[in-house]
Amino acid sequence: MASSNADGEGHGARHGTSLASRLSSAHDAVTAASFQLAVMCLGIISVAFCYEVVARYAFNAPTVWANPLVSYLLCAMIFLALPEMTRTSQHISINILIGALSASTAALLQQVIRAIGLVACILAAWITAGETGAQITGNIWTISYFPVPKWLISIFIPYGLLSAALYFLRQIAGDRASPIEETGA
């Protein structure tokens, strides 16, 4: 009987590890999909701007939809790409100080910076999620020739910030699937 309990406990421990691994894999899959959407947004932005330039200067027929569309997609693109940038440590980083420190001190400072990033992203995600909710309940729309409900644009902000926060947490925990920037001495 004791061996079946041990087996059961072992299975539970394996199941817990497996669950964390599956959650990390799901997070990575959602991040990859959102990054592909960001790339699509960039493509649409490029086409819209090119169309606007040709329509305006070649045909003297400027559009009313290109500028609002580009501004809406720009917000979505930035926050859809943010989790991938954080996952791969490609976000903006000034590492003059880190490069001058010993490897162990630099690694400790990196962890402190990640913890600050984690807290900042969680707080910003909370605030922007609250504002997005207020936009939904208040039925607030953009002010432009091409108005849309504001939440359709701002919903990407808390998503990107929360997902980035999860990557900071995973990096702090030493998740090797989420690359950790190497620090040299």
pLDDT tens across 41-51, in order? 999 999 999 99
Q: What is the pLDDT of residue 12?
A: 47
Our count of domains for the chain comes to 1
User: When comparing pLDDT for 8 and 40, which is higher?
Assistant: 40
Which segment of 1-10, 37-46, 55-64 scores lowest on mean pLDDT? 1-10
> Residue 65 falls within a domain, yes or no?
yes
User: When comparing pLDDT for 104 and 78, which is higher?
Assistant: 78
> Residue 178 falls within a domain, yes or no?
no
> Residue 181 falls within a domain, yes or no?
no
> Residue 146 falls within a domain, yes or no?
yes
> Residue 132 falls within a domain, yes or no?
yes
Domain that holds residue 145: 2-172
Whether pLDDT at 92 is above 90: no
The model scores a pTM over 0.95: no
> Residue 18 falls within a domain, yes or no?
yes
Q: What is the pLDDT of residue 128?
A: 97
> Residue 182 falls within a domain, yes or no?
no
3-state SS record for the chain: CHHHHHHHHHHHHHHHHHHHHHHHHHHHHHHHHHHHHHHHHHHHHHHHHHHHHHHHHHCCCCCCCHHHHHHHHHHHHHHHHHHHHHHCCCCCCCCHHHHHCCHHHHHHHHHHHHHHHHHHHHHHHHHHHHHHHHHHHCCCECCCCCCCECHHHHCHHHHHHHHHHHHHHHHHCCCCCCCCCCCCC
> Residue 180 falls within a domain, yes or no?
no
The pLDDT of 21-39, averaged and rounded, is: 95
